[in-house]
């Protein structure tokens, strides 16, 4: 999925940002670029990437590479890292939960197989995997595609998987106004596959749970984990 500007909510984005910062899990950022126009970012990144390539000894006059600095800048700003801009948080129109107050136990809504397409902040190479997200609706319910959108928004940043998982849980919790949220993620890190230990087959699993999902002995937690671990 690409960024759909008409489906964003900047007010909610700033609220979620403040919330994440207050609980210490917002992505570390400096305020200097908050108001910088994308055009300016593109030209600065293009300049710097040109220097990186030149330093590596690459000939930027070569017609295959001459546009690479511009392409890299566009890819960073418009495709890989648009989740750094709080204005791009997805619109999350919630509808009233008609079952609220009806005794449904702890039945939850779960979506699995959500694509995680992110970038590792230590090496700037891909993190690729799947997430399972669930919540127990209290007063508010969301359209299912919003769960994908929230995962996508936080994935479009340089990330560490642990923080990414936490951010998705905390943001969803904020939006649907319940602590009963769980996120399970299984992802491959290309920095592990292609460099360092070069282990091609390992994957990393992270879990972030709140409310009923955090209670060790709860059936809700057990059911969630069973469903999340089941191959899609």
List residues near Zn ion by CB under 5 A: 120, 122-123, 191
86 is catalytic: no
191/214 with CB nearer Zn ion = 191
Q: Name the token pair of 15.
A: 């609220």
Looking at beta carbons, which pairs linking 189-194 to residues 24 or more positions away fall under 8 Å?
189/120, 189/125, 189/127, 189/161, 190/120, 190/123, 190/125, 190/126, 190/127, 190/128, 191/120, 191/122, 191/123, 191/125, 194/125
CB of 192 to Zn ion, least distance (A): 7
CA atoms within 13 A on the CB side of 135: 24
92 is catalytic: no
118/167 with CB nearer Zn ion = 118
CB of 122 to Zn ion, least distance (A): 4
138/204 with CB nearer Zn ion = 204
- The closest of 15, 70, 4, 3 to 41, measured between CA atoms, is 70
Instruction: Indicate which residue of 161, 166, 167, 188 is catalytic.
Output: 161
Q: Could you give phi then psi for residue 13, rounded to 5 degrees?
A: -60, -45
161 is catalytic: yes
CB of 172 to Zn ion, least distance (A): 25
191 is catalytic: yes
CB of 106 to Zn ion, least distance (A): 37
80/150 with CB nearer Zn ion = 80
Nearest residue to Zn ion, by Cβ distance, number only: 191
66 is catalytic: no
Instruction: Indicate which residue of 46, 92, 120, 159 is catalytic.
Output: 120
The Cα-based distances of 93 to 113, 145, 213 in angstroms read 22, 11, 24
Instruction: Indicate which residue of 4, 122, 177, 215 is catalytic.
Output: 122
- Annotated catalytic residues are 120-123, 161, 189, 191
């Amino acid at each position: 999925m690409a960024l759909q500007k008409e489906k964003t909510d900047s007010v909610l984005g700033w609220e979620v940002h403040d919330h994440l910062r207050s609980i210490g899990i917002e992505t570390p950022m400096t305020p200097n670029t908050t108001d910088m126009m994308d055009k300016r970012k593109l030209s600065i990144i293009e300049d710097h990437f040109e220097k990186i390539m030149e330093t590596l000894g690459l000939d930027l006059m070569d017609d295959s590479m001459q546009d690479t600095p511009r392409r890299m800048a566009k890819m960073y700003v418009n495709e890989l890292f648009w989740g750094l801009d709080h204005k791009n948080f997805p619109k999350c129109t919630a509808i009233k939960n008609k079952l609220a107050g009806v005794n449904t136990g702890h039945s939850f809504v779960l979506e699995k197989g959500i694509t995680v397409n992110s970038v590792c902040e230590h090496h700037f190479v891909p993190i690729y995997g799947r997430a399972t997200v669930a919540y127990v609706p209290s007063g508010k319910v969301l359209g299912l595609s919003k769960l994908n959108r929230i995962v996508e928004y936080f994935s479009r940043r340089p990330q560490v998987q642990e923080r990414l998982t936490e951010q998705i849980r905390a943001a969803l919790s904020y939006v649907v106004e319940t602590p009963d949220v769980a996120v399970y993620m299984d992802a491959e890190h290309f920095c592990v596959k292609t460099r360092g230990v070069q282990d091609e087959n390992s994957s990393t699993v992270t879990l972030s749970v709140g409310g009923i999902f955090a209670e060790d002995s709860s059936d809700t937690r057990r059911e969630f984990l069973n469903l999340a671990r089941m191959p899609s």
